[in-house]
Structure 1
Amino acid sequence: MTTDDAAMKRDMAPRPVRILGMLTGPGAFRLILAAAVFVSHVSRIGIGRPAVVLFFMLSGYWVTRLYQGWSASTWTFEASRFLRIWPLLAVTAIVVWLVEMAGILPLHGNLLSTLGLLGLAVRQGDVIGVAWSLDLELQFYLLLPFCLWWINRRTDGRATRAALLLAVLTVAGAIGMANGWLTALAFAPAFAGGVAIRLSDWRVSTRTAAISVAVFVGIGVLLWLVPATRMMVIKGDVPWWLDLAYTAWCLTLLPYVAWNVHQPSPPIDREMGNLSFPLYLVHFPLIVLAIRWAGDGLAGKALALVLALVATAILYLFVDRPFERWRSGLWRRRRDTMVAEARDSPP
């Protein structure tokens, strides 16, 4: 048997399922964050907002990676990212709105405002209760090409330009929040952290990643022990600067995120990551429905979990996957057309 044959046989051999490894992949991490948002909405534990901050951090890495490998124009990139999040949002919002019109759920938000998405976090009117974060995600998509152009416009001074841009965006976001305007700029450091991981190709050891988790948890314990900061862990008053504080706290997990995005992602891990999106979108209206039917005790929360899991599976199989296959095929066909046009054009 040749060396290549031996390697092929080794690669094809069945491997034991490693539960810990399944929980540390990039997809599993996103699913855990979506589950954290669910837990936050059925309890007084304030882990929902930090989970959203970490979503933005992960997005900074993955979207930058996608953009760097994008062979078509910037506007097609923006259109592709919009079509990744909007169809599932639209279906979810329309179904929830129809349920509200039927009197099964209390009226909440405005359907047209939700479907408009961009600027939703400022103008309010969110039908499903969590679409505000998708508005901010879309804003990050629009900002990313400009930010990368600014950073890479010259070979020297990139770090200085990046730091200056981040400072300006963060200050602008803080001023906006202080005046009641929630925009993507409020979470600019988190998204920028993910971008920096990608641009620097930062590799982190398992030990360093574990230390960052320990620091994050330790700060959480201190926040809980101090009465003035307990509302960051146990829900209480919500001052305007709370999201800025959450972002600063979550930046201690940047080494873990840098480690996580470089972990292997087998098919099961990618499926877990894909499931996080429909779970995030659909869970809040179903919590409201379950509490209305079964009360806000354990029975209502258990019912909310069951309903959320069932609805997630339905949305994933019959909406998200078909739309994603269509979207992927659309840009693949466009790339093939561009290649053919370039080949057939005169020199």
Structure 2
Amino acid sequence: MTAIQAATSTNAVSPTKRHYVSLDGLRGVASVMVVLFHVFETFTNGDPQIQIINHGYLAVDFFFLLSGFVIAYAYDDRWGGMDLAGFLKRRLIRLQPMVIVGSILGALLFTFQTSPVFPKMPDVSVAQVIGVMLLGFVMIPLPKSADIRGWDEIYPLNGPQWSLFYEYIANVLYAVAFRKLSNRALAMFVALFACAAIYLAVFSVRGDFIGGWALDANGIRIGLTRVLFPFFAGVLMLRLGARISMRHAFAISSAILITAVSLPRFGGHDNLWLNGLYDAVCVILLFPLIVAIGAGDGGAEGTSLRVARFFGNLSFPLYITHYPLIYIYTAWVADTKPSPILSALVGAGLVITAVILAFACLKLFDEPARRWLATRFLRRA
């Protein structure tokens, strides 16, 4: 999800390497769709059939695909002069500053979230909140017994952090083993992971890819299945030179992505497998096509370039800081049952607030912190 900016901000990519601005922008577009998905999810009452941005959860799988593509681009040809520790330091410098901010924000807003939709909160002490926050700083996942909110999240102060946990796992697997594989061997693993993804989506009890944030056997299975295919498919795409050149590539690929995650669910309540099949088609076929179009865009300029850069820079801060606001919004909707117009106005305000907050975090903390950490802990070749 965040590998493109990692390359530029921690000297991961040689100055002679091309920068995929359109892929930056696509990651930003996907982040906005995640925020909208979470806002509308508040009104589903547990029934995904009535969600408006219905397949917004697939943006996470799109993030994984982008990450694999750009991790391979940034690091595949650098292992002669970089060891595992150097690779992990670069990944930590890129991701951890905003992970810490997200955990702090989640802890601060936790005190305002008293609602029946969070069943465990009345019995939580300040010491517990601080402990959960500190564990979140270092990405230690919590079992269900330690969840202080009651939603079975491994990071209950900032739910979306779960995807970073699995991204780290994929990063380690890449660095330790998969980077050494030939393209043929990697393709065999990718095909195997694709079969697992199809099985998960088509035969799940919900008929979708949703899940991965609970620390139990099923949650771990979902999380690993969701990351393994797209991440290593992205690595394979980079190695095979999967690019499609066309005019207005950023606009076209963004439109395809927005449409794909916004379509209503398929099959209704009686044929859930149809929706699972759609999810699998998106992740295995459509998302690689979108990335190939974005990777082939060599002409992003003017307004398109500025938009792509803005959303690309904003993407990770927006993704990792918006959900504490969603907790509050969910509690407010459940407790006050506001009118549709008021709900829409407050929801729009939440999206605007989330963007402003993410931009402030990016400029005031994330970029300065990464620059300092890179200067302190990374040596230029």
CA-CA distance at 1:229 after TM superposition:
5.2
Q: 210-219 or 111-120, which moves further after superposition? A: 210-219
Q: Is the 1:121–1:136 contact (alpha carbons within 8 Å) kept by the matching residues of 2? A: no
1:255 to 289, 294, 305: 289
Matched, 1:94 2:104: yes
Q: What residue in structure 2 maps to residue 142 of structure 1?
A: 172
1:319 to 365, 377, 381: 365
Distance, in Å, in 2 between the alignment partners of 1:317 and 1:263 is: 27
SS in 2 for 1:179: helix
Distance 1:120 1:205, change over 3 A: farther
CA-CA distance at 1:64 after TM superposition:
0.9
2:157 to 114, 124, 127: 127
Distance 1:170 1:81, change over 3 A: same
1:204 to 244, 248, 256: 244
Distance 1:47 1:327, change over 3 A: farther
2:139 to 117, 140, 146: 117
Matched, 1:81 2:126: no
After the TM superposition, which residues 237-252 of structure 1 pair with which residues of structure 2 at under 5 Å, given as runs? 246-251=279-284, 252=286
2:82 to 47, 72, 80: 72
State the AA in 1 paired with 2:311: M
CA-CA distance at 1:203 after TM superposition:
2.2
Distance, in Å, in 2 between the alignment partners of 1:38 and 1:315 is: 17
Distance, in Å, in 2 between the alignment partners of 1:274 and 1:114 is: 23
Distance 1:224 1:190, change over 3 A: same
SS in 2 for 1:138: helix
What RMSD, in angstroms, separates the aligned Cα atoms of the two structures? 3.8
Distance 1:146 1:171, change over 3 A: farther
Gaps of 5+ in 1: 1-23, 153-157, 234-241, 337-347
Distance, in Å, in 2 between the alignment partners of 1:143 and 1:80 is: 15
Q: Is the 1:216–1:250 contact (alpha carbons within 8 Å) kept by the matching residues of 2? A: no
CA-CA distance at 1:312 after TM superposition:
1.0
CA-CA distance at 1:134 after TM superposition:
0.6
Distance 1:30 1:222, change over 3 A: closer
Q: Is the 2:244–2:292 contact (alpha carbons within 8 Å) kept by the matching residues of 1? A: yes
State the AA in 2 paired with 1:33: A
Distance, in Å, in 2 between the alignment partners of 1:68 and 1:51 is: 25
Distance 1:98 1:258, change over 3 A: same
SS in 2 for 1:46: coil
CA-CA distance at 1:214 after TM superposition:
6.5
Q: Is the 1:286–1:304 contact (alpha carbons within 8 Å) kept by the matching residues of 2? A: yes
Q: What residue in structure 1 maps to residue 219 of structure 2?
A: 180
Deviations 1:279-328 (A, max 9, x none): 11111111333455686611220221122122112111111111221244
SS in 1 for 2:219: coil
Q: What residue in structure 2 maps to residue 15 of structure 1?
A: none
Deviations 1:98-144 (A, max 9, x none): 332xx323459832442232556997233111100111111111011
Distance, in Å, in 1 between the alignment partners of 2:380 and 2:98 is: 24
Distance 1:93 1:69, change over 3 A: same
Gaps of 5+ in 2: 1-20, 41-50, 115-120, 145-152, 201-210
Q: Is the 2:73–2:238 contact (alpha carbons within 8 Å) kept by the matching residues of 1? A: yes
Q: Is the 1:121–1:133 contact (alpha carbons within 8 Å) kept by the matching residues of 2? A: no
1:163 to 187, 192, 214: 187
Matched, 1:329 2:350: no
Distance 1:229 1:74, change over 3 A: farther
CA-CA distance at 1:250 after TM superposition:
2.2
Matched, 1:40 2:60: no
Distance, in Å, in 2 between the alignment partners of 1:184 and 1:292 is: 30
- More helix per residue: 1
State the AA in 1 paired with 2:239: L
Distance, in Å, in 2 between the alignment partners of 1:261 and 1:230 is: 33
Matched, 1:286 2:332: no
Q: What residue in structure 2 maps to residue 9 of structure 1?
A: none
The structure having more radius of gyration, on CA atoms, is: 1
Q: What residue in structure 2 maps to residue 274 of structure 1?
A: 313
CA-CA distance at 1:219 after TM superposition:
11
Identity of aligned residues (%): 23
Q: Is the 1:126–1:132 contact (alpha carbons within 8 Å) kept by the matching residues of 2? A: no
